Structure 1
Amino acid sequence: MVGFPNWCDRAAEDVGAHALELITARAADIAHGSAAVAAIVPEHYAAEEHVARILRRLGRPKTAAFIEGKLPTTKQIRSGDLGEILATEYIAAGTQYAAPIKRLRWKDHRNMAMRGDDVIGLYRDPATGHLRFLKTEAKSRATLPGGVLTEARAGLDKDGGLPSAHALEFIADRLMEAGNNDLADAIDDALLKHGIAPQSVKHLLFTLSGNNPANLLRANLQGYGGGFSQLYVGIRIDPHGAFIAGVYDQVIANANNG
């Protein structure tokens, strides 16, 4: 976990019937935050068991080469990936939902963005046994413009506001491969047996930026007229680009130095 409270200030507010949370990195604690994020990045690109096996069989230098070969090298893809990584970590630590699949492990190429829903959180209702879903769009920009929020809003509204069947089938397949048949069956039941009710879906619009996103997020949320419950989360890390570069540099250094 990245432990946001250890290096960030947090402020939450209601915007109508919806929620907005702002998470701002403290300048004095940026180095701590960078180290915490760097520590969890590798597991988003490769299974920990795979890394451990390479380490046992081939040693530290080959393990470091394997990890570095998984990491994107372009600023744009690193930025987008880190936005998705932090969104996944936020879901795991800050909501009732679980994000059981780290989908960056299945990228076609390290310098390509993945298509489809960025992250889908899952929560099994203890009363019904049915799943509830957190459909997520994550965006990362040094300076966040309003147009990016419009783009994210369109992504959340796609497929009638529901998580796409393709994205859920992907998650179910990966869960089956990992031996988590129970949760995979619950996804299949949602898709094929009882359907996904709109009231079982919540939206998360998640941003990572260098500028303060509060007014943009608040205005976009105020303009939402749909029927899905909304959670908007904006993380501000200044300087944005240097933080991302530092995280990936630290990941490589950690892999080489153990």
Structure 2
Amino acid sequence: MGLYENWCDATKKKDKRRHYWTYVEKDDGRYEIRDALVETVRSHYDRLERIAEDVERLGYKVASAILSEAMPQTPKGRSGDLGEILAAELVEEQIGLRVPVRRLRYKDGRNMAMRGDDFIGAGYDSDGEKLWLLKGEAKSNKVLGKATVTSARKVLNRDNGRCTPVSLLFVANRLLESNDPSENALGRDLRDEVGLKSLRADRIDHMLFTVSGNGPHASLKEDLDATGSNRDHYVVNIHIEDHQDFIAAVYQEAADLGNG
């Protein structure tokens, strides 16, 4: 079972190509996924094997200090990053596309938000031949409201609904640097798409992903109902009542590698 299946109860509604998903924590869900979530957060900032090497070479305390240098220290920075992390995990678990590059590893300032699309899902159709993309925008707020939802939708609609070229090129180039031939092939297809722009709208899905303390605001469903039918639209909310305390605890545990 994946992170979300152990953590939350889901309600999923579908109307043609519109998907409205809401998640509420199970009674013991947070306890069940605690260790997995902490490890997942770490993996978005660095490779787990590299963290393990730091521990072996330098000990837990120094390795923790190195990892902490990559993680945001402000509540706003942590909230934004965790929204992107949870969104990427949901795409891979529930939709089946990959988020092939953990872009938080490449931030040029740990408390700064990265430019471009928050997350990009990539893969191929059921025949394994035609490229398929997902353009995503993630929002994490103690109190989610209409202004945030409207702003996120504007971002999704930019570039005629296509993935931002600079974001797509960033993912493509990281994949082309890999030693894995399958990663290189996907990177080549993504790089070609930057120039050719050949994908039709019906193969570029959109996701508006939200994490909030007040649960799914009415504007989320209203936003989804106003979308077109030329692509799959996903609108998602994860309700975490103690939103800010939860985020603080996750980052405190993620930065602490132990003292063994």
TM-score of the superposed pair, with normalisation by structure 1: 0.92
Q: Which moved more, 1:39-48 or 1:10-19?
A: 10-19
Q: Give the drift of 1:20.
A: 0.5
Q: Does 1:96 align with 2:99?
A: no
2:185 is equivalent to residue 182 of structure 1: yes
* Residue pair 2:132, 2:204 contacting (<8 A) in 1 also: yes
- Output one character per residue of 1:193-245: Cα deviation in whole Å (capped at 9) or x when no partner: 57222121110110000112153311111122473320111101111111101
Aligned with 2:84: secondary structure?
helix
Give, in whole Å, the separation in 2 of the partners of 1:38 and 1:49: 15
Residue in 2 aligned with 1:215? Answer: 218
The one-character-per-residue Cα deviations of 1:146-193 (angstroms, maximum 9, x if unpaired) are 110001100100100000111111001111222221111111232335
Structure 2 partner of 1:154:
154
CA contact (8 A) 1:17 1:229 kept: yes
Structure 1: distance between partners of 2:126 and 2:19: 24
Shift of 1:47: 2.0
Q: For structure 1, list consecutive stretches of 5 or more residues without a partner in the other structure.
A: none
Counterpart residue number, 1:204: 207
Aligned to 1:123: 123
Query: Post-superposition shift, 1:126?
Result: 5.0
- Counterpart AA for 1:242: D
* Cα distance change of structure 1 residues 128 and 5 upon mapping to structure 2, 3 Å threshold: closer
Change (3 A) 1:19 1:32: same
Q: Is the 8 A contact 1:122 1:134 kept in 2?
A: yes
Identity %: 35
Aligned partner of 1:10 in structure 2 is 10
Aligned partner of 1:139 in structure 2 is 139
Contact map agreement 1:137 1:155 (CA 8 A) in 2:
yes
Q: Which amino acid is the alignment partner of residue 207 of structure 2?
A: L
Which residue does the alignment assign to 1:240? 243
Deviation of 1:27 (Å)? 4.2
Structure 1 residue 15 displacement after superposition: 4.1
Q: Which amino acid aligns with 2:50?
A: H
**What amino acid does structure 2 have at the position aligned with 1:185?**
R
Partner residue in 2 for 1:171: 171
CA distance in structure 1 between the aligned counterparts of 2:74 and 2:128, rounded to whole angstroms? 45
When residues 185 and 17 of structure 1 are mapped into structure 2, their CA distance, relative to the original with a 3 A threshold, is closer
SS at match of 2:199: coil
Verify the 8 A CA contact 2:146 2:217 in the aligned structure 1. Answer: no
Distance in 2 between residues matched to 1:85 and 1:208, nearest whole Å: 11
Q: Deviation per CA, 1:83-120, whole angstroms, max 9, x where unpaired?
A: 00000000111112111101000011111111110000
Alignment of 1:1-40 (within 5 A): 3-15=3-15, 17-40=17-40
Residue 138 of structure 2: SS of its match in structure 1? Answer: strand
SS of 2:258's equivalent in the other structure is helix
Between the aligned partners of 2:245 and 2:197, the Cα distance in structure 1 is 47
What is the CA-CA distance between 1:2 and the residue it aligns to?
5.9
| Counterpart residue number, 1:227 | 230
> How large is the RMSD of aligned CA atoms in angstroms?
1.9
Q: Are 1:45 and 2:48 counterparts? A: no
Q: Output the CA distance in 1 between the equivalents of 2:92 and 2:128.
A: 22
Is the 1:130–1:186 contact (alpha carbons within 8 Å) kept by the matching residues of 2? no
**1:62 shift after superposition:** 1.9
SS in 1 for 2:73: coil
Q: 1:21 and 1:205, CA in 2 relative to 1: closer, same or farther beyond 3 A? A: same
TM-score by length of 2: 0.92
What is the identity, as a one-letter code, of the residue corresponding to 1:197? R
